[in-house]
Amino acid sequence: MSLAHSHHRLELPPTLETQLHGFRRRVWTIKILEAVAAATFGVVLAYLTVFGLDRLWDHGKRTLSLL
C-alpha cells in the first residue's frame, strides 16, 4: 500500500465556494463584534470599579497627587 501524496486538489462547485466565502465573512464579522463588545465591557467595568472604590474610600491629597 503506497502512501504517496497526490498533487490533486479537491475542487468545490462555484455555488458552494460562494456560500463558504459568505459564511466565513459572516463568522469573521461576528468575531470582530464579539471582540469590540468584550473590550467595551472591560473598559466600562474598569471605570465602574474605580468609580465605586472612589466612593467607598476617602482619598487624601497625598494619594491623589501620586496618581
pTM beyond 0.85:
no
Q: Does any domain span residue 40?
A: yes
Q: Does any domain span residue 55?
A: yes
Stretches in the chain below the pLDDT threshold 50? none
pLDDT at 32: 98
Q: Does any domain span residue 7?
A: no
pLDDT at 2: 56
Q: Distances in Å between the alpha carbon of 53 and those of 48, 56, 67?
A: 8, 5, 15
Q: Does any domain span residue 1?
A: no
Domain count, the chain: 1
Which residues are within 8 A (CB) of 12 and not within 5 positions of it... i.e. 6 or more apart?
Answer: 20
pLDDT at 23: 97
Q: Does any domain span residue 18?
A: no
Q: Which of 23, 1, 24, 20 is nearest to 12 (CA)?
A: 20
- Residue ranges making up the domain that contains 40: 30-67
pLDDT at 58: 72
Q: Does any domain span residue 14?
A: no
